[in-house]
Amino acid sequence: MTRPTAAFFDLDKTIIAKSSTLAFSREFQAGGLISRRAMLRSAYAQLVFFTGGADHDQMDKMREFMSQLCAGWDVATVRDIVHETLSTIVEPLVYDEAVTLFEEHRAAGRDIVIVSASGSEVVEPIGELLGADRVVATRMEIADGRYTGNIDYYAYAEEKARAIEQLAASVGYDLSACYAYSDSITDVHMLEVVGHPFAVNPDKELRKVAATKGWPVLSFVRPVALRRRIPVPPARPTLAALAVGGAVAAGGVAWANRRKRSHDA
């Protein structure tokens, strides 16, 4: 029998047109969740992470700030708010080209799997919105129903590739017949584990790798109102989605670096 296959998608700048966490910055402030100063600092922290322009010391400082910001937030409240606002915030940012790929892969019988370093509280509802079959995302540590500010699992860089391989072993995917899409050099490992890798809106370094390895390069340029392509549930007005993904983005690199240093030691 033919083994099942999947198409693995990064999220930010691959499925949606900007950072899934930066997309909520104004809503954080408008909803009174954070001050204007904190909003600007968190947006900057996310932007630096998103563009890969911070050293270890900078990321440690950002991680500390973001961890303090989300520590103590009630998990159930965060999840409710994210679910209520995603269709308003994210729905207009989805690339039309990505939706087309989703449709083509489904028609070919492949599963759709989103693999993102952003927090599961953000990524899982986006996956549900898009009809993804599975989601791999970062998980924040929870104690007594609240976030501690620490990270349980960080879906970043090599860990994305490991997660895909583990999922393939569990589900039975034939990775040689699977597809993967990403914009970032940090996802080169994820792209290398499948038989059909694609660089989407690649950064400078990934573009070089794609050229060397002969990987196709795709340009996604048309964000589309998702409801024009697939049914989208109506959104209810609420405060805003919380910056769970932002805390992950700012803190995760430091977590990964500490893990690497412990291995090197």
The tokens of 137 are what? 């995302």
Q: Can you list the alpha helix ranges (DSSP code H) found in 90-145?
A: 96-107, 120-130
Whether the CB-CB separation of 246 and 50 falls below 8 Å is answered with no
Burial class (CB in 10 A: 0-12, 13-18, 19+), 110: buried
Residue 245: per-residue pLDDT: 46
Whether the CB-CB separation of 251 and 66 falls below 8 Å is answered with yes
How far apart, in whole angstroms, are the C-alpha atoms of residue 195 and residue 229?
29
Residue 251: per-residue pLDDT: 44
Residue 24: per-residue pLDDT: 58
Known catalytic residues are: 10, 12
Whether the CB-CB separation of 207 and 199 falls below 8 Å is answered with yes
Pairing status of strand 146-153 against strand 179-182? unpaired
**Closest alpha carbon to 16 in 72, 93, 75:** 93
Residue 161: per-residue pLDDT: 97
Residue 195: per-residue pLDDT: 98
Residue 61: per-residue pLDDT: 57
pLDDT of the chain along its 265 residues, tens only?
789 999 999 998 899 987 776 565 555 555 555 566 666 555 555 555 555 544 445 545 555 666 666 777 778 877 777 776 777 777 788 999 999 999 999 999 999 999 998 888 888 988 998 999 999 998 889 999 988 888 888 888 899 999 999 999 999 999 999 999 999 888 999 999 999 999 999 988 999 999 999 999 999 998 876 665 655 444 333 333 333 444 444 444 444 444 555 555 5
Residue 59: per-residue pLDDT: 44
Residue 122: per-residue pLDDT: 82
Residue 142: per-residue pLDDT: 93
